Structure 1
Amino acid sequence: MKRRYLAGVVLAVLFAALSLIWWAKSPRQPPLVVGGGLPAPCRDASFEAVAYVVCEIDLRRYDIGVFHAGIDGKAFGSLDKFDKAMADQGRPVLLAMNAGMYHQDLTPVGLLVEDGREKAPINLADSEGNFFLKPNGVFLVRKDGKAAVIETSAYVATRLDVMFATQSGPMLVIDGRLHPRFEQNGTSRYIRNGVGVRDENTVVLAISRSEVSLGSFARLFRDALDCPNALFFDGAVSALSNGERMIVGGNYPAGPIIAVTGKKLASR
């Protein structure tokens, strides 16, 4: 009896040891929430039982821009690399977030305007995927420092003189109405991030801390954040940093990046 008991103990120990070895060697995804302090314009929020980080940017106090490539002309590729590059240039950021969809080589799928120069053209094509779930739209900052989220065809018609712009899709909220293709609470659930504009001086960035449907995410901007127009940036690879460490998301690939700096830090 004792021999059977001892044999059982030995087998249990061996099984536990083998399990630990397998666990240590198996590939693991980066954590969805890494931690770190929230940037100054940001707060924790909850809507329809989903936790968010919400950042309300007053453009009279902060500057906001869209970035893609470094001084070498190569895409930053991730928030971590972007934050380090900006710090090395003496231009540290308060927060950064992925800001639009990208091809495999990290080039933007749609419009990108950086420092007043168009780096990628507007994309009016029809295809599959969230970007092409029309109406899609453009987040922009005009050369006078005012911001807007505008549907793509309206952007083409207005010919605005912009300093920064990024195109993505779908629109979440269009003139106070939810995107007509959204279900109330669809089965597609991801960590998601996006941008809304409450008025021309107030930009609202939001990222979920857990998976959420597009319908619920759109209602967040319309019903809780008072944004008459809002644009989806991305899902699954959504991330937010405070300029030094990740708040939400891991070291995911990034194409266009939206970043916020204090007015005194933003001079070039």
Structure 2
Amino acid sequence: MAALHARLCAALLVLLAAAAPAWAVTCEDTRVDGNRYTICRVDLDADDLRLFLSDADGTPYGHFSTLDRALARQGEQLAFAMNAGMYHEDRAPVGHYIEDGVERMRVIAGPGPGNFGLVPNGVLCLRPGRADVFDTSRYLTERPRCTHATQSGPMLVIDGKLHPRFLPDSTSRNIRNGVGTSADGRTAWFAISNHGVTFYDFARLFRDTLGVPNALFLDGSISRLYAPMLDRDDSGRRMGPIVGVVAPRAGD
């Protein structure tokens, strides 16, 4: 009987391992100071986090579903995704953009119109095994060798401090999404508000709740999330850059 029990336990462990997802990213809905958010944690030691803009023909993916179908042809799938920065009407990124080591858009330095130009803005830089958010001036000084990078703005948290233009009594509320990275670069936190919030409250989420030293605003009303573990696949108008965790497709 003992031998049979051991074989059954071993078989169960094999089945559980086969059923377990091939990624570490997790997403959960939460409430902070009366505001509702969905927060996703990406483990850079285990997760393959990449940026995506367009297919081999130069056609922007635009939607999570289009990107997932393209990955399926390579035996891969999206485990998580979010829009990854501001873009023009043709879906071209407004700011700096690198994909698979190829720069597609230069760094935009200095102030400008809109949220993007509300300096300091910043860059999400992905390298093997780590992710970092840099404010743009530091990025230009350090010149990290990013495999993937996307520029957006404004920064939400800069070296543990909130962006100086954010006001605690602001009445400007909008859907917002952003990303923050741990000091060691091994964890990236992505968050999206599930109703309108102020920049001040959104930045405090990253600094005070998630505890990240640097965080970057990605976009506002067009913000969307793909989180299959929550049965969430936001639709809407076509996107520009997309950030996502890629995993082997189930059964492959």
TM-score range, shorter chain: 0.7 to 0.9
Pick from 52, 56, 60: which aligns with 1:67? 52
Deviations for 1:87-113, whole angstroms, at most 9, x for unmatched residues? 233220101100000011110000111
- 1:237 partnered with 2:237: no
The 1:63/1:247 distance shift into structure 2, 3 A limit, reads same
Q: CA deviation at 1:119?
A: 1.2
Are positions 1:194 and 2:184 aligned together? no
Q: Deviations over 1:126-147 (max 9, x none)?
A: 32100000000000112x3221
Offset of 1:125 from its aligned partner? 4.5
Which runs of structure 1 show a deviation greater than 4 angstroms over 4 or more consecutive aligned residues?
243-246
Where do 1:83-102 residues align within 5 Å? 83-102=68-87
Q: Find the partner of 1:254 among 239, 245, 251.
A: 239
**Aligned 8 A contact 1:130 1:169 in 2:** yes
The alpha-carbon deviation at position 261 of structure 1 amounts to 2.4
SS in 1 for 2:81: strand
Of 198, 217, 225, the residue aligned with 2:210 is: 225
The higher radius of gyration belongs to 1
Q: CA deviation at 1:248?
A: 6.3
| Residues 24-43 of structure 1 mapped to structure 2, 5 A cutoff | 41-43=26-28
Call closer, same or farther: CA 1:109–1:206 in 2, change over 3 Å.
Answer: same
Contact 1:96 1:243 (C-alpha < 8 Å) held by counterparts:
no
What TM-score do the two structures reach when normalised by structure 2? Answer: 0.84
Percent of matched pairs sharing the same residue: 44
Counterpart among 183, 199, 208 of residue 167 in structure 2:
183
Question: Do the aligned partners of 1:240 and 1:246 also contact (CA within 8 Å) in 2?
Answer: no
1:236 maps to amino acid: S
Distance between the aligned counterparts of 2:236 and 2:172, measured in 1?
Answer: 23
Aligned pair count reads 225
- What TM-score, normalized by structure 1, do the two folds share? 0.79
User: Is 1:81 aligned to residue 95 of structure 2?
Assistant: no
CA RMSD of aligned residues (A): 1.9
